[in-house]
Amino acid sequence: MDPIRIAVVGLGKIARDQHLPAIAGNAAFSLAATVSPHDPGREGVAHFASLGDLLYGGPAIDAVALCTPPQVRYDLAALALKRGVHVFLEKPPGATLSEVVALRERADKVGVTLFAAWHSRFAAGVAPARAWLAERTIQKVSIVWREDVRVWHPGQAWIWEPGGLGVFDPGINALSILTHILPRPVFLEDAALSIPENRAAPIAAELRFRDTAGADIHMDLDWRQTGPQSWNITVETDAGTLKLSSGGAVLTLPGGTEHNEDLEYPGLYSRFANLIRGGRSDVDIDPLRLVADAFLRGRRESVEPFND
Amino acid sequence: MDPIRIAVVGLGKIARDQHLPAIAGNAAFSLAATVSPHDPGREGVAHFASLGDLLYGGPAIDAVALCTPPQVRYDLAALALKRGVHVFLEKPPGATLSEVVALRERADKVGVTLFAAWHSRFAAGVAPARAWLAERTIQKVSIVWREDVRVWHPGQAWIWEPGGLGVFDPGINALSILTHILPRPVFLEDAALSIPENRAAPIAAELRFRDTAGADIHMDLDWRQTGPQSWNITVETDAGTLKLSSGGAVLTLPGGTEHNEDLEYPGLYSRFANLIRGGRSDVDIDPLRLVADAFLRGRRESVEPFND
């Protein structure tokens, strides 16, 4: 089988740290081009300033990975789908729910693969956590997701702009795990968003969700955490407590702890290849819908200015 | 066929002005009870302080119409569905998207009718507008929805609370028409929300949407309009201009203007009866999703305080 010729669009931190190595490590793909108006590209790989230049004047490609900020992703995805090119959407899959729904309908109509990637779902502990919880009664869930934005998003102005999600940019990773491992649907009850005076997006948030059987779910998001970082989900059940830590990489069950190798992006690219070979799409908007609900329903409080 | 025994839950302005008259005027329904902790009820009709009191100690009912503020509607709807009672949800169908999706899944599972009502879709001009636009190329859309909140929502504090939508409470009526009459999906490009300093929800908003063929859609919402009120949608097409005015009641096409009787709530109850008799649900969340997108993506500006 010929490798899938893929182009990476947007060469920011996530593309350099994760996408390019994962593509290089997967024989199902060959890197055919890169696209960025800012970056000169990689030696030996065709490079274009825009996706239009690539699609209308570059080498033939089968797929694109869109690693740009979410605010500009719809037009890029729509253009790729129009040319029959499969699309991998970094998370969050768009700046709004409606644009992702529109893309999903479009992909179904033209028979092209659209993949809304949630990398945290591929963390090592997540699949076994889901399997273990499937048979349990969920009593209570606590999510603590506290990190230092200066370390993880240095100088990323777009993340503070409308559509950039603020602290929900990491928080949506926790929600992508939550909605994947819990056996019942979850909905928002209450949210308090802390917005720096000089920014449009929250730097911290406290949220309460419930599942449809009534289990309480508490979520604590904070981007002001210096020192040790926390990415933990604790689920109390009728059979004891499950804990996912290190963003889902480490799973602790009543019987002990499992440490496994981190293979999030390799997992995503294996999945993308399978979707393309199978002629299917995978576009789950549930995590983004919960974030939109927090913006819709949440109370806002103004907090001290944030400067990089 | 026996009439559907229905209870009206929440006896505020919309229940008194619209629901009770529409139920009285439709032979498919009989009003079996009312529920309100505040209102003494109606002479000759069983009355309860809570839905639980009715469902566990009152006369048998087949359906409920939930006319409470959206913030408390999920629990009421879940309780009714649990008892096998069909549910009519006033608009907006919930305070969050996720709770409505959870209710829809639940209703499908238990085989009970759930109806998310969008009354403006039953305005006289809307069905012919939809039919006329189905064959047209849409070039541009302009929505102007300007009304006086003091006239239409006197003293309704809940509407200004988180989850209460503010000016999107009427604005969602326009969106329910828009998403119904346009032949292609619509998504949000940009939004500016004007929030009074002393309130949580917007008093005005300016929005830009696009359809998937690229047509520009502009929306102007304002709750500070005294004097003449505006509820107009203008659609420019390759075959001339369509205009819906008076909230959808009046349709103007290139050939002339049609005035028809306002039958929004009678239309809703006919539809609800048909859904129940047919064993089906109708839960379209598109209008609420566009509002959530505006809260998610919109810029906010603080404007002068609003006092009733």
pLDDT in tens, A184-225: 999 999 999 999 999 999 999 999 999 999 999 999 999 999
Q: What pLDDT shows up at residue A207? A: 98
Question: What is the band of B164 on the pLDDT scale with cuts at 50, 70, 90?
Answer: confident
d(CA A221, CA B76): 30
A123: how many CB neighbours lie within 10 A of its CB?
Answer: 25
d(CA A241, CA B141): 54
Question: Is pLDDT of A274 > 90?
Answer: yes
Helices B168-181 and B286-297 meet at what angle, rounded to 10?
120
Going across the sheet that includes A4-9, the strands are: A46-48, A29-35, A4-9, A63-66, A86-89, A114-116
Of B101, B116, B131, the residue at which a domain comes to its end is: B116
Residue B135 and residue B38 share a domain: no
Hey, are the CB atoms on A96 and B186 less than 8 Å from each other? no
Q: What pLDDT shows up at residue B170? A: 96
CA distances (Å), origin B260, targets B122, B127, B147, B227, B257: 12, 12, 22, 24, 10
The mean pLDDT value for B281-295 works out to 98
Q: Are A162 and B297 in contact (CB under 8 A)?
A: yes
Q: Nearest Cβ partner of A98 from B106, B290, B300?
A: B290
Q: What is the SS3 assignment for A5?
A: strand
Chain A contact residues (CB < 8 Å to B): 74, 78, 95-99, 101-102, 105-106, 162-163, 185-188, 191, 200, 212, 286, 289-293, 295-300
What residues does A193 pair with on adjacent strands?
A205, A300
CATH number for position B86: 3.40.50.720
Number of domains in chain A: 2
The mean pLDDT value for B211-240 works out to 97
Which of B13, B82, B91, B140 is the catalytic position?
A: B91
Question: Is pLDDT of B292 > 80?
Answer: yes
Assess whether B140 carries a catalytic annotation: no
Question: What is the band of A147 on the pLDDT scale with cuts at 50, 70, 90?
Answer: very high
Burial B154-190 (b: 16+ CB within 10 A, else e): eebebbbbbbbbbbbbbbbbbbbbbbbbbeebbbbbb
Residue A242 and residue A162 share a domain: yes
Distance between B97 CA and the closest CA of chain A, angstroms: 6
Of B116, B132, B148, the residue at which a domain comes to its end is: B116
Tokens found for residue B223: 């709750």
**B268 φψ region: left (φ > 0), alpha (ψ -120 to 50), beta (else):** alpha
Of A116, A131, A163, the residue at which a domain comes to its end is: A116
A191 vs B contacts (CB less than 8 Å)? 162
Q: What pLDDT shows up at residue B158? A: 86
Q: What pLDDT shows up at residue A158? A: 86
Q: What pLDDT shows up at residue B252? A: 97
Question: Is pLDDT of A247 > 80?
Answer: yes
Q: Are A105 and B184 in contact (CB under 8 A)?
A: no
pLDDT in tens, A97-113: 999 999 999 999 999 99
- Residue A251 domain flag: yes
Question: Is pLDDT of A308 > 90?
Answer: no
Question: Is pLDDT of B103 > 90?
Answer: yes
Residue A299 and residue A213 share a domain: yes
DSSP secondary structure string, A231-278?
A: EEEEEEETTEEEEEEGGGTEEEETTEEEE----HHHHHHHHHHHHHHH
Residue A157 and residue A39 share a domain: no
What range does the domain containing A104 cover? 4-116
The mean pLDDT value for B58-69 works out to 97
CA distances (Å), origin A100, targets A104, A115, A280, B156: 6, 11, 16, 34
pLDDT in tens, B206-220: 999 999 999 999 999
- Residue B308 domain flag: no
Cis peptide before A170 (omega within 30 of 0): no
Question: Is pLDDT of A260 > 80?
Answer: no
- CA dihedral over A57, A58, A63, A68, signed as positive or negative: negative
d(CA A244, CA A259): 11
* High-pLDDT (> 90) share of chain A, %: 92
Hey, are the CB atoms on A200 and B299 less than 8 Å from each other? yes
Residue B75 and residue B9 share a domain: yes
The mean pLDDT value for B179-191 works out to 97
- Residue B225 domain flag: yes
A102 vs B contacts (CB less than 8 Å)? 185-187, 212
Question: Is pLDDT of B1 > 90?
Answer: no
Residue A140 and residue A37 share a domain: no
- Residue A275 domain flag: no
Question: Is pLDDT of B51 > 80?
Answer: yes
CATH number for position B187: 3.30.360.10
A297 vs B contacts (CB less than 8 Å)? 95-96, 162-163
- Residue B277 domain flag: no
E strand or H helix at B231: strand B230-237
Considering chain A, what is the average pLDDT of its residues? 96
Residue A35 and residue A178 share a domain: no
* High-pLDDT (> 70) share of chain A, %: 100
Residue B128 and residue B95 share a domain: no
Considering chain B, what is the average pLDDT of its residues? 96
Q: What pLDDT shows up at residue A272? A: 98
Chain B contact residues (CB < 8 Å to A): 74, 78, 95-99, 101-102, 105-106, 162-163, 185-188, 191, 200, 212, 286, 289-293, 295-300
Question: What is the band of A296 on the pLDDT scale with cuts at 50, 70, 90?
Answer: very high
Residue B54 and residue B37 share a domain: yes
- Residue B276 domain flag: no
ipTM of this predicted structure:
0.94
The mean pLDDT value for A122-131 works out to 96
- Rounded to two decimals, what is the model's pTM? 0.96
Q: Are A50 and A33 in contact (CB under 8 A)?
A: no
Residue A221 and residue A81 share a domain: no
- Residue B133 domain flag: yes
Query: What Rg, from alpha-carbon coordinates, does chain A have?
Result: 20
Residue B157 and residue B183 share a domain: yes
Q: What is the SS3 assignment for A63?
A: strand
B114: how many CB neighbours lie within 10 A of its CB?
Answer: 25
- Residue A175 domain flag: yes
Residue A298 and residue A201 share a domain: yes
Taking CA–CA distances from B166, the nearest residue in chain A reads A296
Tokens found for residue B16: 């008194």
pLDDT in tens, A42-99: 999 999 999 999 999 999 999 999 999 988 999 999 999 999 999 999 999 999 999 9
Question: Is pLDDT of B47 > 90?
Answer: yes
